[in-house]
Amino acid sequence: MVQEENSEYDHVILMVTTALEGGNREENAWYLDTGCSNHMTGRKDWLVDLDLSKKGKVRFADDNTIRTEGMGTMQIQKKDGGISCIYEVLYVPIMNNNLLSLGQLLQNGYRMLLEDNALKIFDKKNRFILKAPMLKNKTFKVEIQANQEVNCLSITEEGESWLWHKRYDHLNFKSLNRLHDQSMVSGLPKLVAPGRECVGCCISKQPRKSYRNLITSRTKSALEVVYLDGCGPMEVETLSGNKIFVTFIDDFTRKVWIYLLKRKSQVFEVFRKYKTMVEKQSKLSIQTLRTDGGGEFTSQDFEMLCEQEGIVHEVTPPYTPQQNGTAERLNRSILNITRNMLKCYEVPKKLWGEAVATTTYLLNRSPSKKLDGITPEEA
């Protein structure tokens, strides 16, 4: 975000007592100011859910400006032992004192009363919450104790949450907690979703508006319907010279198999290997194969094999990805996660094959909307 130096949206401080003589910091002192546009502090360790992307400028009455380095929430210790929060507090590193904006409190529904040489503040329910006596220099100051133990605990929990988010290849926190709550995997702790977005996920997983799934799933056993789709060729070859990959998805279990190929002409041989493997392992037979009508899926050899084995080959019409939505969405998910992995860990693009294989491994061990309480691998 670019902002002009003299923009009217700069955060403003009109109070002249923003710094004490000698530059000393009063640890728990907060000045209440009608001219301050936002709550501000120089204590980074007091702020929870600090968003360092919210940078800006603070303009003083003499038109000097300083930089703000983020915005967060401060948790405070009340006299009765409870915890309360001050939201949208700007982090200004060079400030020695802390400022409470009366304008921001008023905007949030609080009420102020000036009487008996003191400033009293009432909350939205008209409950008395704070009293600041007027000092000799005509300012109002109050002592507020930050709850640093909660801050440290929150930072620890958020760090562990991000660690498991990355271990599971940037899986969303709702699905991560489903894995824990329903005991779908062992060893995964209960996670607390951080109060900010993952930058890598925002960059790599931006989808178009979803379309309605026109074909409902009615399968009752494994291999009743198998989706087959290809993706590529990629701009960069893998270390083995592969440029495309094909995915097989079982509609009933949502289990995914992936194969890296050098040429599309290899799809037929890969299908034969896949068919033999899954039918031997499951003691079942593929009944229906659904593809998007690509040339690699409609060759004479392909059709002959399906006819000999009694496999119904369903081919979707051209330019209708909705008809093969399961495979299309899966390929999109695989590419999004792979792209995110390559960006976040700064690995060469030629390792996309290993990233795709890792992504498939993790997707088979992640929750699916079609399954109840188990992962595709278990199903």
Q: Which amino acid is at 71?
A: M
- 371: which 2 tokens? 């399954």
* 31: β partners: 99, 141
DSSP characters over 164-198: HHHHTTS--HHHHHHHHHTT-SSSPPP----SS--
Q: Would you call 33 a catalytic residue per the annotation?
A: yes
Catalytic position from the list 33, 229, 251, 292: 33
- 331: which 2 tokens? 């390929």
227, 233, 234, 235 alpha-carbon torsion, rounded to 10° = -170
Strand order of the β-sheet with 288-291 is 256-261, 244-250, 225-231, 288-291, 312-315
C-alpha to C-alpha distance for 50 and 70, rounded to whole angstroms: 6
Inter-helix orientation angle 267-282/300-309, to 10°: 20
C-alpha to C-alpha distance for 335 and 357, rounded to whole angstroms: 11
Give me the active site residues, please. Answer: 33
